[in-house]
Structure 1
Amino acid sequence: MRRSLLYVVLMLALALSSLGTMGASDNRTLGINVLLKGEVTDAVLADLGQYGKVRDVIYEIHAVTLQARARDLETIRALPYVAAANPDAERTGAPIDTVAVEDFTDGLSTWNLDAINVTDIGFNNRQVAYDGTGVYVAVLDTGLLDSWRQYFPQERIATQYAISFGGGGGEQGYVSSQPNKWEHDQNSHGTHVTSTIIGYSLRGTPINGVAPKATIIPVKVLNQNGSGWSSVVARGIVYVADLKAGPLKDYPVVINMSLGGPELDAVEKAAIDYAISQGVILVASAGNSGAAGMGYPGAYEPVISVAASGWVGEWTPLGNRAWWYNRNVPDPTNPADFYITDFSSRELPGQDLDVAAPGSWVVGPYQLQSGKTSYYFLGGTSMASPHVAGIVALMAQKYNNLTPAQTESILESTAIYLAPGCRNIYTPYGTTEEVCWDEYATGAGLATADAALAATP
């Protein structure tokens, strides 16, 4: 009997405590939804305005949304013209997680990952001891598709830091932030770039990534057509640098920029210098202008720039062409098996080209229509850059205090030199063609993960 009485007393105390949080002394501001017994009139709105600020009116259903103090909720409910009133209730509508794993460490190898000695042919066959755990890679690009959860594990995308910047130049003049636009991309470029770094699901088949346990920060700085302004890119760089100086100060942070233009903007340069001062390591594509020279910011010396290489066996005829990308690149890596693409930008005086990585016919998710899952084979230094950003993530996992200058030095000193020359390569059209390059096309040579990690402290 005494225990039952004690139980009643405790429950009463809890109830009173709960009521206290909404009691007369509660000065919290709430969004309150008010349903009226009759039509919304000016007199009703004026009277409700004594208790808070009217935010919206839905005349069709005799409803008003009000911003008011929690302590006034019961008073509002008691008003003679009020049928009901309650705090605005949270609703969620996020897609379900359709990728059932947290990472693709055990996924299928593709030729481009085999080429940089991250994986070998088949599944669950990584060749390096690191996977990017604890490293953040900010992808400054077009953001991610609405359907990104069909391709990537949610655990690999830092949605709390994801952001979009827009405007600049010939558009709005000023740069603004649109926090949720990052996951509503219509271009697909950022999604494809991300897939190289952490891997992806190809219709349910897990495909490995360079750093499959790295955490991606999507930063949209390019518009839905895949273009943008250096002022917007600068804002994105500074945003990531501030993250590194603040909530991510204890984690390595890498920026990948698969983008560029013919000139280095002064504000963009200052943003890069600021990011480097915070310890951020920046990787960027060299550009796709061939002999016309490199693009910026990749050509700026402190940025690790990446040329596009290819493998002579990319399109070697097979009976089952559907799995052409699951090829075994011979070991040890032989420079005679690789080439520099004809579109990859050459280094001109005053420009700095660092290393090369696979950028020819790299497969990954690329949708042309919202909601339609597709996979495309893309070429470009945009595809080469994330390979090196992934290698840097592995290096930073091994040595958390890795500096940008130290990273660049290790990558260059361990790259496999590709001497100027020519290669006969197969094309996807069943023909062969000759590709040639000069000494200004290769930088220090082909970057490989195993050699870079071996030289990392």
Structure 2
Amino acid sequence: MQMHWINRQVILAGAAAFLLAACGGGSSPGSASFSGTLSLGRSAALASLPILEVPLGLPPAGGTSFVPGEVIIKFRPGLSLQSVQSLRVGGVSVQQVRPLAGVQAASLYRADVDESGTLELLRGLRSRSDVLWAEPNYIWKALATPNDPAYVDQWHYPAINLPQAWDIEKGTTNPVTVAVVDTGILSQHPDFEGRLLPGYDFITNPQVGVDGNGRDNNPEDPGDEPGGQGSYHGSHVAGTIAAATNNNRGVAGVSWGARIVPIRVLGAGGGTMADILDGTAWAAGISIQGVPANPNPAQILNLSLGGQGTCSPAAQEVFDAVTARGAIVVVAAGNSNRNAAEFTPANCSGVITVGATDFQNHRAPYSNYGPRIDVMAPGGDTRADLNNDTYPDGVLSPVRDDQNSEFAYAFYQGTSMAAPHVAGVIALMKSRRPALSGTEALALLQQTARPLSPTACTGKGPAQTSRDCGAGLIDAAAALQALGNGNNPPPPPPGGDFSLSLTPNSLSVRPGSSSTITLNFTRTNFTHPLTLSLSGAPSGVSGTFNPATVSDSSASLTLNVAGSAVAGNYGLTITASGGGKTRTATLSLQIANANATRPSLNGTLVLACYYLGNDCDQIRSRVIAIQSNVSSTTYRFRDLEAGRYLLLAWKDSNQNEELDSGDWLGVYTENGDLVLVEPPRSDLSFSVELVQDLGAAQRVSPQVLRFFERASR
């Protein structure tokens, strides 16, 4: 069974639900009108709307996607955090909890408000001139859960030619330190004897930590399912990387010599983004307020966790700070059988994103895919037994059996299990060449990987091309052979370092059009000019950098997509070089089908929702239908009662009377914010955008959805 990811992707539907839950309204007798222009959006997908950077949706049903009352705020340059230890926003007192490690001028804050109050607080914070950005303290979760404990052969090691790799390097030449940022560790498990270095527990909430306290220097995993079988997810991940090997006991780890620094950030229900990012920064040796320094900074970090949504600016800054220190970050792509560009931290820049394969070296049925995948590694499929050994084809690694309180081993499946295979192989590579950089490691893994055919990449999911599985399945032996004898290359010249990230890091562009992204450079004592280049662009796609050589903190890239460009998903690489250093970032590009007929507004319903506090008043709300094959038209509501209205529009493209992927949806906004408007108004123009995220679209306010559906009948 796979763990569900918390969905933090903000979509317009969710923003509408927030407004209905958070805003008040009233009514009075009278009549007036609304009018304006409704048009099809110029963007190819709902997720590209600027509005999506501002409002926030309610948590998905059945779970909490952020900590009520906790927000992370980054202030504009030049502002001292000492001067903003307490704030007052819309009558709410907000207190600073601690600075956020690795993110300059950013802190975690806390207020005594519920979920709706947190969203309202964020709206107020984002309107302040001294705030660069503000976001909730999201909750991320582990990406796999256990099935049945067992002791069997680890088929997943021969799948990546690991036995042949051990003939070259066992990981003992120059032992490497690997941080596992996860649920903690079973320190007394026999297969971790002599494998562990001091770690830390970064979980601040004792209820999440289920260990009776907050942060401390004990990363022991007490189990993340109080009263039930714990997952011991972190131990399973750590075991794949570095379980004691050649000791006549249990299972083998990929690296015989690596040492694990366990970082506990996930407990009951997952973990908060602030705790996870603190743990990630500490793992690389960055100082954390109130926490002793890490005596063993990790060279490799494994994060088998995440959530759905764009890469958080806080997360990106932490990863930039970590990689600037030379650490290599390996992350799981996610288990939703969807485009990895929709999931974080898999879609962050500067990390190695890993998809999962099954026993037959096909993409596992749950594994995310797409151009953001860098490489694939075994993740297993516990529903199958293709090797006929009577055991499920999962990845075997250490856990504990809570029913009898014994240490054991279990088969898990997930990209959580794939990522530590890559982290372990990189540990072998760095043992052979200690100065190996993350860029070099990824390049070697990709150059020596075995590409998956379109059939193998498709697996049991939607049709894919081979590019949707990255460079393919890693080959540990080939990567070590390509590394050579391990002689270190000449050290880079002095002069600091820099990192590169993209905003956004995924685009959807129609043939015959163009789109622009921003390149962000974080410089650490680095003053050299950087030369920019683009590779991996398909035929018909060209890019223009402005400027082509950059000496400050940002540049732009405009992608021009010719009308002849072939539809599909592509992974483009942006390279910045200067001062003897090179950094890359991956851009996921989707080219729409040039032959697809652009839809019209015909059949679109426009709703003037008379707001009552949690629903649209069925008497005073109005719906009109657009009955014309145009892409832009005027609309008009007449004889409205005085009061406050929310304006929405929906086109049920497949006419199934349900709001889902492929429909078109829009809400009237002002300055990027959802607003309630009062008649008379004649300037209420807005657009509808294509909904591509089915799961997110289904979280639109049920009351508003039912109103639309009644009207569509």
The TM tier, using the shorter chain, reads 0.5 to 0.7
1:452 lines up with 2:479 in the alignment: yes
Q: Equivalent of 2:285, from 242, 246, 250?
A: 242
Q: 2:264 is aligned with what amino acid?
A: K
**Closer, same or farther: CA 144–207 of 1 in aligned 2, 3 Å:** same
1:219 lines up with 2:263 in the alignment: yes
Q: Is the 8 A contact 2:240 2:397 kept in 1?
A: yes
2-side partners of 1:185 and 1:415: how far apart? 36
Deviation of 1:242 after TM superposition, in Å, equals 1.5
Residue 175 (structure 2) aligns with: 134
1-side partners of 2:308 and 2:457: how far apart? 29
Q: 1:379 is aligned with what amino acid?
A: Q
Q: How does the TM-score come out when normalised to structure 2?
A: 0.39
Deviation of 1:153 after TM superposition, in Å, equals 3.6
Residue 446 (structure 2) aligns with: 412
1-side partners of 2:476 and 2:247: how far apart? 28
Residue 152 (structure 1) aligns with: 191
Q: Give secondary structure in 1 for the equivalent of 2:421.
A: helix
Q: Is the 8 A contact 1:283 1:385 kept in 2?
A: yes
Residue 209 (structure 1) aligns with: 253
The structure richer in helix per residue is: 1
Q: Give secondary structure in 2 for the equivalent of 1:444.
A: coil
2-side partners of 1:216 and 1:171: how far apart? 23
Q: Give secondary structure in 2 for the equivalent of 1:270.
A: helix
Q: Equivalent of 1:266, from 296, 313, 325?
A: 313
Residue 426 (structure 2) aligns with: 392
Q: Equivalent of 2:204, from 167, 184, 187?
A: 167
Q: How does the TM-score come out when normalised to structure 1?
A: 0.59
Q: Is the 8 A contact 2:363 2:457 kept in 1?
A: no
Residue 271 (structure 2) aligns with: 228
Higher relative contact order (CA 8 A, sep 6+): 2
**Closer, same or farther: CA 443–203 of 1 in aligned 2, 3 Å:** same
The structure richer in strand per residue is: 2
**Closer, same or farther: CA 202–367 of 1 in aligned 2, 3 Å:** farther
Give the 4+ runs in structure 1 shifted more than 4 A. Answer: 200-204, 243-249, 422-425, 434-437
1-side partners of 2:461 and 2:247: how far apart? 34
Q: Mapping of 1:14-33 within 5 angstroms?
A: none
Q: Mapping of 1:6-405 within 5 angstroms?
A: 110-119=154-163, 126-132=166-172, 133-145=174-186, 148-158=187-197, 160=198, 162-167=199-204, 177-186=215-224, 187-199=231-243, 205-225=249-269, 227-242=270-285, 247-248=295-296, 253-263=299-309, 264-294=311-341, 295-312=343-360, 338-347=361-370, 352-360=372-380, 361-367=394-400, 369=402, 371-405=405-439
Q: How many residues align?
A: 301
CA offset digits 1:370-399 (Å, max 9, x no partner): 723333211100000000000110111111
Q: Give secondary structure in 2 for the equivalent of 1:192.
A: helix
Q: Give secondary structure in 2 for the equivalent of 1:222.
A: coil
Q: 1:255 is aligned with what amino acid?
A: L
Q: Give secondary structure in 2 for the equivalent of 1:417.
A: coil
Deviation of 1:208 after TM superposition, in Å, equals 1.8
**Closer, same or farther: CA 220–378 of 1 in aligned 2, 3 Å:** same
CA offset digits 1:43-80 (Å, max 9, x no partner): xxxxxxxxxxxxxxxxxxxxxxxxxxxxxxxxxxxxxx
Q: Is the 8 A contact 1:166 1:176 kept in 2?
A: yes
Aligned Cα root-mean-square deviation (Å)? 3.3
2-side partners of 1:207 and 1:171: how far apart? 30
User: Any gaps of 5 or more consecutive residues in structure 1?
Assistant: 1-106, 313-337, 426-433
CA offset digits 1:209-248 (Å, max 9, x no partner): 11021000000111134x1122111101110121699744
2-side partners of 1:422 and 1:452: how far apart? 22
1-side partners of 2:304 and 2:155: how far apart? 20
1-side partners of 2:399 and 2:294: how far apart? 33
Q: Is the 8 A contact 1:340 1:436 kept in 2?
A: no
Q: Give the greater-gyration-radius structure (CA).
A: 1
2-side partners of 1:248 and 1:176: how far apart? 22
CA offset digits 1:161-187 (Å, max 9, x no partner): x1011138x989xx9622214343443
Deviation of 1:136 after TM superposition, in Å, equals 0.2
2-side partners of 1:202 and 1:130: how far apart? 11
**Closer, same or farther: CA 342–253 of 1 in aligned 2, 3 Å:** same
Q: Give secondary structure in 2 for the equivalent of 1:421.
A: helix
Q: Give secondary structure in 2 for the equivalent of 1:155.
A: coil
Deviation of 1:152 after TM superposition, in Å, equals 2.2
Deviation of 1:358 after TM superposition, in Å, equals 0.3
1-side partners of 2:463 and 2:415: how far apart? 15
**Closer, same or farther: CA 126–203 of 1 in aligned 2, 3 Å:** closer
**Closer, same or farther: CA 289–277 of 1 in aligned 2, 3 Å:** same
Q: Give secondary structure in 1 for the equivalent of 2:407.
A: coil
2-side partners of 1:437 and 1:255: how far apart? 32
Q: Is the 8 A contact 2:316 2:349 kept in 1?
A: no
Deviation of 1:449 after TM superposition, in Å, equals 1.0
1-side partners of 2:373 and 2:323: how far apart? 18
Q: Is the 8 A contact 2:363 2:458 kept in 1?
A: no
Q: Equivalent of 2:464, from 438, 443, 449?
A: 438
| Fraction of identical pairs, as percent | 30
**Closer, same or farther: CA 423–441 of 1 in aligned 2, 3 Å:** closer
User: Any gaps of 5 or more consecutive residues in structure 2?
Assistant: 1-150, 225-230, 288-292, 381-393, 487-713
Q: Give secondary structure in 2 for the equivalent of 1:344.
A: coil
Q: 1:151 is aligned with what amino acid?
A: P
Q: Is the 8 A contact 2:255 2:428 kept in 1?
A: yes
CA offset digits 1:385-443 (Å, max 9, x no partner): 00000011011111111112221111111111112105999xxxxxxxx6675125411
2-side partners of 1:437 and 1:372: how far apart? 43
